[in-house]
């Protein structure tokens, strides 16, 4: 199959050439998510120009695929009428997601342009705590009363389903709108019309509270293989559904933030290719400055053992090898622990189990590395210093793995984001303590 010219040419290139006909062709041939990705790579002027060439319905599909920061960029270039039509057509949860990151002036303009019904739903979502499931759920839900039959339930779906974001999972409620169960659309369609809804209902449904963390609710959906999760208030009354597309975005955002912090950088919003050099540098600079300050510990330790180095100068040859091995062992353990915490495989109560586990893993790794270290040391500087290197590798790796595995758990216990205890921070700490271990071992083994 040959590749069309529009596939070989990016939208940005066509915009740069000001070839409107080719731009229209490209937009017609590509899916909304692909168009959104191209718009996110452009500056505000070019993205706005391309977006205005989309028809109304397709523009809304593309707009909802964009990240909030890119949505704000598009909105800033629209006239009032187009602005109102676009935000009115958005799903309430997508609109709330955009507004929680928008400047106050943009949020005010958006809310002012909404119909009373849409404004009420959006304001209700924004009233929930930041990062909660209530902020990400859709309030447009078809709820079925538990006393209906299958035929009556399908009638409700036909009457109200057009205004709902999804009808695959249908919450079942009582007279007080309290959640009593859920029923899948498949069950309604395939059952006898006269079947009571109570016979088709899962009476102990998995659900989340609106004030629960959105990440926790999203990971619950992944663990239970749900495509929609009912969300209730403090009195078990149904208030919305967390849909699978929003759950995926929540997990992706959380994982992206964790990855950035583990790499020693602050997370940023928006497309990487659209971010400027100085913008990216700003997000990374603070962490690097903090790590630079922390690294002065290594300098201080080296200075304190200057006399030891003077008596056995060959010890200096192995400093990079030792602190590199210890830092990597600590970073591996920290990354594994943060990941295990995120997916629920490890809890804070497992602290001592993790300490014991990581200590043994580190010692095994250290022993393996020590064999190689002794061989290398013997070849270069002789048996005595090689023995120091081997013993140090075992101790450093055991210590580094223990520190790397337990620091995220301690951070969680202190209500600090475990990802903040990033691999670079663990590495910096292990570097300093590893040198203390190395020089102390040398003094004992060499008698200096």
**Which pLDDT value is given to residue 5?**
45
**Number of alpha carbons in the 13 Å side-chain half-sphere of residue 9:** 17
Mean pLDDT within 28-42: 85
**Which pLDDT value is given to residue 267?**
53
**Which pLDDT value is given to residue 69?**
77
Is residue 443 over pLDDT 70?
Answer: yes
pLDDT band for position 276 (cuts 50, 70, 90): low
CATH class given for the domain over 11-127: mainly alpha
Give the chain's mean pLDDT.
81
Residue 63 CB contacts under 8 Å (≥ 6 apart), including other chains: 36, 51, 71, 74, 86, 90
pLDDT band for position 7 (cuts 50, 70, 90): low
Q: Look at 387 and 312; give whichever has higher pLDDT.
A: 387
Is residue 203 over pLDDT 80?
Answer: yes
Q: 69-106 b/e with 16+ CB inside 10 Å = b?
A: bbbbbbbeebeeeebbebbbbbbbbbbbbbbeebeeeb
**Which pLDDT value is given to residue 100?**
73
Distance of CA 96 to the CA centre of its chain: 19
Side by side, which strands form the sheet with 228-232?
Answer: 208-209, 228-232, 238-243
**Which pLDDT value is given to residue 217?**
92
**Which pLDDT value is given to residue 19?**
74
**Which pLDDT value is given to residue 308?**
65
Is residue 334 over pLDDT 70?
Answer: yes
Most confident of 16-20, 117-121, 261-265, 394-398: 394-398
**Which pLDDT value is given to residue 151?**
93
**Which pLDDT value is given to residue 63?**
85
For residue 5, what are the CA distances in angstroms to 20, 23, 328?
Answer: 15, 12, 46
Is residue 385 over pLDDT 80?
Answer: yes
CATH class given for the domain over 277-446: mainly alpha
pLDDT band for position 208 (cuts 50, 70, 90): very high
Please state which CATH number belongs to domain 144-263.
3.10.580.10
Per residue in 277-322, pLDDT (tens digit) is 666 566 556 666 665 665 666 667 666 666 666 666 777 788 888 8
pLDDT band for position 395 (cuts 50, 70, 90): very high
Q: How many CB atoms lie within 10 A of CB 195?
A: 16
**Which pLDDT value is given to residue 152?**
93
pLDDT band for position 2 (cuts 50, 70, 90): very low
Is residue 98 over pLDDT 70?
Answer: yes
Per residue in 342-354, pLDDT (tens digit) is 767 888 888 899 9
pLDDT band for position 229 (cuts 50, 70, 90): very high
Mean pLDDT within 128-144: 90
Which residue ranges make up each domain of the chain? 11-127, 144-263, 277-446
Is residue 230 over pLDDT 60?
Answer: yes
Most confident of 67-81, 174-188, 318-332: 174-188
**Which pLDDT value is given to residue 53?**
83
- 3-state helix/strand/coil string of the chain: CCCCHHHHCCHHHHHHCCCHHHHHHHHHHCCHHHHHHHHHCCCHHHHHHHHCCCCHHHHHHHHHHCCHHHHHHHHCCCCHHHHHHHHHHCCHHHHHHHHCCCCHHHHHHHHHCCCHHHHHHHHHHHCCCCCEHHHHCECCCCCEECCCEHHHHHHHHHHHHHHCCCCCEEEEECCCCEEEEEEEHHHHHHCCCCCEHHHHCECCCCCEECCCEHHHHHHHHHHHCCCEEEEECCCCEEEEEEEHHHHHHHHHHHHHHHHHHHCCCCCCCCCHHHCCHHHHHHHHHHHHHHHHHHHHHHHHHHHHCHHHHHHCHHHHHHHHHHHHHHHHHHHHHHHHHHHHHHCCCCCHHHHHHHHHHHHHHHHHHHHHHHHHHHHHHHHHHCHHHHHHHHHHHHHHHHHHHHHHHHHHHHHHHCCCCHHHCCHHHHHHHHHHHHHHHHHHHHHHHHCC
For residue 443, what are the CA distances in angstroms to 298, 399, 436?
Answer: 18, 19, 11
Is residue 360 over pLDDT 90?
Answer: yes
Mean pLDDT within 373-379: 87
Is residue 76 over pLDDT 80?
Answer: no
Is residue 6 over pLDDT 50?
Answer: no
pLDDT band for position 359 (cuts 50, 70, 90): very high
Mean pLDDT within 4-30: 75
* Lowest model confidence (mean pLDDT) among 37-51, 240-254, 284-298, 302-316: 284-298
pLDDT band for position 339 (cuts 50, 70, 90): confident
pLDDT band for position 121 (cuts 50, 70, 90): confident
The answer to whether 442 touches 312, Cβ cutoff 8 Å, is yes
**Which pLDDT value is given to residue 3?**
46
Is residue 155 over pLDDT 80?
Answer: yes
């Amino acid at each position: 199959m040959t590749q069309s010219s529009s596939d070989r040419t990016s939208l940005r290139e066509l915009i740069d050439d000001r070839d409107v006909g080719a731009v229209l062709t490209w937009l017609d041939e590509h899916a909304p998510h692909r168009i959104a990705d191209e718009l996110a790579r452009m500056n505000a002027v070019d993205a706005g120009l391309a977006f205005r060439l989309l028809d109304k319905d397709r523009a809304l599909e593309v707009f909802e695929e964009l990240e909030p920061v890119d949505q704000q960029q598009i909105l800033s270039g629209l006239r009032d009428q187009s602005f109102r039509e676009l935000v009115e057509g958005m799903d309430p949860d997508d609109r709330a997601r955009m507004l929680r990151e928008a400047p106050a002036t943009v949020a005010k303009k958006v809310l002012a342009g909404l119909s009373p019904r849409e404004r009420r739903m959006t304001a209700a979502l924004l009233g929930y705590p930041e990062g909660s499931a209530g902020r990400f759920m859709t309030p447009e839900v078809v709820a079925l009363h538990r006393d209906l039959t299958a035929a009556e339930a399908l009638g409700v779906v036909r009457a109200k389903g057009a205004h709902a974001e999804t009808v695959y999972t249908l919450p079942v409620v009582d007279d007080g709108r309290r959640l009593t169960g859920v029923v899948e659309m498949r069950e309604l369609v395939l059952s006898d019309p006269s079947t009571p809804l109570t016979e088709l209902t899962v009476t102990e449904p998995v659900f989340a509270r609106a004030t629960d963390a959105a990440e926790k609710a999203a990971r619950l959906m992944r663990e239970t293989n749900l495509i929609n999760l009912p969300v209730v208030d403090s009195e078990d009354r149904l208030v919305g559904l967390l849909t699978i597309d929003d759950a995926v975005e929540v997990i992706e955002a959380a994982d992206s933030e964790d990855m950035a912090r583990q790499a020693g950088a602050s997370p940023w919003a928006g497309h990487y290719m659209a971010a400027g050099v100085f913008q990216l540098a700003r997000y990374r600079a603070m962490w690097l400055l903090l790590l630079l300050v922390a690294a002065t510990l290594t300098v201080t330790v080296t200075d304190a053992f200057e006399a030891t180095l003077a008596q056995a100068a060959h010890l200096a040859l192995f400093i990079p090898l030792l602190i590199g091995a210890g830092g990597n062992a600590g970073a591996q353990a920290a990354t594994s622990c943060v990941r295990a915490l995120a997916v629920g495989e490890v809890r804070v109560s497992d602290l001592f189990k993790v300490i014991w586990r990581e200590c043994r893993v580190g010692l095994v790794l250290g022993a393996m590395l020590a064999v190689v270290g002794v061989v290398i040391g013997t070849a270069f500087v002789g048996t005595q210093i090689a023995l120091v290197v081997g013993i140090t590798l075992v101790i450093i790796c055991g210590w580094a793995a223990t520190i790397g595995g337990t620091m995220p758990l301690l951070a969680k216990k202190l209500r600090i984001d475990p990802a903040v205890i990033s691999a670079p921070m663990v590495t910096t700490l292990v570097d300093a303590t590893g040198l203390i271990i190395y020089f102390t071992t040398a003094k004992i083994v060499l008698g200096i």
